[in-house]
Structure 1
Amino acid sequence: MTTGQWGIRVPAQEGEATRQALIGEGALDVTLKVLHDGPFLIFAVLAERDGAGWYEFGEQPGREALPRHELVGGIAIMQENDPAGAEKILANRPSLHTVLFPTSEVSGEYRTRDYRVLAGTDTTRTEVTEHGRRFVVDLAGAYFSARLSTERHRILDQVNDGELVLDMFAGVGPFAITLAARAGVVVAADLNPQAVRLMMENIRKNRAANVIPVLADARHLEKILSWKFDRIVMNLPLAGTEFLPEAFRLVRPGGTIHFYSLVSETGEHLARIRELGGAGVTVTEREVRSYSPGQWHAVYDIAVG
């Protein structure tokens, strides 16, 4: 059995020093095996941190096997409705306060899902630490994916100082607040009032004074905003394609659109992107992560000519 978990990848010669340091911090997940990746070792850690990636780890022999789950801040999300297993997770992970089981898929225009509390505190609210930033999330009230942490920093590395950035589907603000470290101004829009309330809380918590929260349908942003943007983030994987025309109208010549989508084949949206952007666009497509058998989360980085 494998478990998806954050991991730190280090050269093998630094392995023992890293292991001891993680134990000293109380950060090492001792229930999972160390992965071997050529000249590197990957240690499972209890929470996302600088340099961490998402890996599949085997259970550690001699340790009590825990049911498969995913960690989001102080919450574990199980894949099975197993109250006894939830109690076992809670007992073995002192940093957690709640174990949840999803009772629906992500759906609706607010991108939310329903949960059942299997163990611990009766809440879907928690705080996630990501590269030194803290985000309050409510898993039942607004969409949040901890697995996009690496993507947020990949895009941050591309942002030039002073850029005008638009996050069309900002949720609780993780992309917007991350990019605000370099951008001049970030406009962060979302249709979900609960997401915008949480985003405003996260803006204050991270002192991101250059993020402007906007409660609005992305279809109407062109009527609300008078700017053209240097960079636009579109993280609406299930329905983002229908908003591509708005993104092309809002991006300035020479700007960039980062369009995320769930796809079943390589190049699935290239024809539509080139139809909207014309001969001047340059598109790079890459897989972000596997989503389900035959489907994956992809990002199209679109440079507008």
Structure 2
Amino acid sequence: MKMLGIKVPKQDAEKVRKKLIELGLLDTNFKVKHEGEFVIFPVKEKIEGFEIVEETFERAKKRFHSYREVVEIPSELGHLLPSSFDIIGDIAIIELPEELIPYGENIGRAILRAHKHIKAVFAKGSKVLGEYRVRELIHLAGEKRTETIHRENGIRLKLDVAKVYFSPRLATERMRIFEKTKEGEIIFDMFAGIGPYSILLAKKAKIVFACDINPWAIKYLEENKKLNKVENVVPILGDVRKVAGQIKADRVIMNLPKFAHEFLKEAMISVKKGGVVHYYGFSHEDNLFDEHIEMIEMAAEELGKSVKILEKRKVRPYAPYQFNIAIDFAVF
């Protein structure tokens, strides 16, 4: 079926396209046509000042802004659909309430349809558990694999989402620490995982000591060193308690929010006088920082040291009324 179009020279196409969108006249249900040195736009009505033609246009595939636009579930359960989910590389991980578990496959397929770059969808099957901080994952749709390469802050991170802990939601926080890091520093990443802090900070640091108790995390950290051509990261497999004190760092990263308070002394004996510790924790919104600062000050006092709080901030919401918080402090 023939329909209206306007024909413009290629060099004017982008300017015209923007103007048509602004006026609400571009018919986005159909694809733009290219014809030699000209571009033909499908339009909803005649527009003065342009060459009007009648053309047959190919129907465009509809783009969806959210998987919730295409998912097939009972309408009364629609309000339970999560508004967001984690994307790690080309893998999506979504947290579903119990009522939606029977519709998991439909939800997974809808995510694949709405997000073409996602190749596999999993649901969170448990809370983060065990000393390796991993969770059970339930396959919903797409490829049945859990290894991927995630890109953030100019680095690439290879990982298996079923074997190591990783949160893509901390990318901004990791860049904040990178911006505070000075050239030539010695860094101690106490709970390094696959190296999202370590690999990034290695761009500025003299050396980064990266410790983790999970052998899979250290395996991927070694791979990520090669992937990013980084030489100055030293992976250490083992309990950080056995490493603490053997390193004297300018900056210590404590990214273990649930248990970081248990390792405050280890951090303090591993940092130079005047060095900085980046501490992470979980808090209720009614009392975000006081309890954590009290634990920091008590640990320092027991070691005969003092601390100066440099910055405290909310990193991200973690659960209803709960936040992941960060406290930067110097040790003297």
What interval of TM-score do these two structures reach, taking the shorter chain for normalisation?
A: 0.7 to 0.9
8 Å contact kept, 1:238–1:261: yes
- Partner of 1:237, secondary structure, is coil
Deviations 1:224-265 (A, max 9, x none): x3x311000000111111111100111110100001111122
Aligned-partner SS, 1:157 = helix
Structure 2 match to 1:159: 181
Partner residue in 2 for 1:12: none
TM-score, length-scaled by structure 1: 0.77
Counterpart of 1:97 (choices 110, 119, 143) is 119
Q: How far has the Cα of 1:87 moved from its partner?
A: 1.0
1:86 maps to 2:108: yes
CA distance in 1, matches of 2:154, 2:250: 26
Counterparts of 2:168 and 2:112, CA distance in 1:
20
Distance in structure 2 (CA, Å) of the matches to 1:269 and 1:101: 32
Using the alignment, how far apart are the partners of 2:94 and 2:167 within structure 1?
A: 15
Partner Cα distance (2:144, 2:153) in 1 = 28
Q: Does 1:272 align with 2:295?
A: yes
Partner of 2:223: 201
8 Å CA contact retained: 2:67, 2:114: no
Q: Separation in 2 of the partners of 1:222 and 1:143?
A: 22
Find the counterpart in structure 2 of residue 110 from structure 1. 132
Larger Rg: 2
Alignment partner, residue 231 of structure 1: 251
Structure 1 unaligned regions, length at least 5: 1-15, 20-29, 33-58
Residue of structure 2 in register with 1:249 after alignment: 269
Residue by residue over 1:181-233, the C-alpha shift from the partner in whole angstroms, topping out at 9 and shown as x without a partner, is 1000000000000110011101110011000000010111136x3x3110000
- Secondary structure at 1:269 match in 2: helix
Aligned residues: 251
1:70 maps to 86
Query: RMSD between aligned alpha carbons?
Result: 2.2
| 2:316 alignment counterpart | 289
Q: Is the 8 A contact 1:169 1:235 kept in 2?
A: yes
Query: Does the Cα contact within 8 Å between 1:31 and 1:65 map onto a contact in 2?
Result: no
Q: Spell out, residue by residue over 1:72-116, the C-alpha distance to the aligned partner (whole angstroms, 9 max, x if none).
A: 210111222311111121122221110001111101111010101
Q: What residue identity is the alignment partner of 2:326?
A: V
Give, as a single letter, the amino acid of the residue that structure 2 aligns with 1:237.
P
Contact 2:251 2:275 (C-alpha < 8 Å) held by counterparts: yes
SS in 1 for 2:131: coil
Match of 2:190 in 1: 168
Q: Evaluate the alpha carbon distance shift between residue 120 and residue 60 of structure 1 in structure 2; reply closer, same or farther with a 3 A threshold.
A: closer
Tell me the distance in 2 between the aligned counterparts of 1:177 and 1:123: 24
Shift of residue 65 of structure 1? Answer: 5.9
Q: How big is the shift at 1:140?
A: 1.1
SS in 2 for 1:123: coil
Q: What does residue 52 of structure 2 align with?
A: none
The 3-state SS of whatever aligns with 2:282 is strand
Aligned mate of 1:124, from 146, 149, 153: 146
Per the TM alignment, residue 31 of structure 1 is displaced from its structure 2 partner at its CA by 3.3
Is 2:282 aligned against 1:262? yes
Distance in 2 of aligned mates of 1:181 and 1:114: 34
> Which SS does the other structure have where 2:261 is aligned?
helix
Is the CA contact (8 Å cut-off) linking 2:261 and 2:296 kept in structure 1?
Answer: no
254, 260, 272: which one aligns with 1:240? 260
Q: Could you tell me the TM-score, scaled by structure 2's length?
A: 0.71
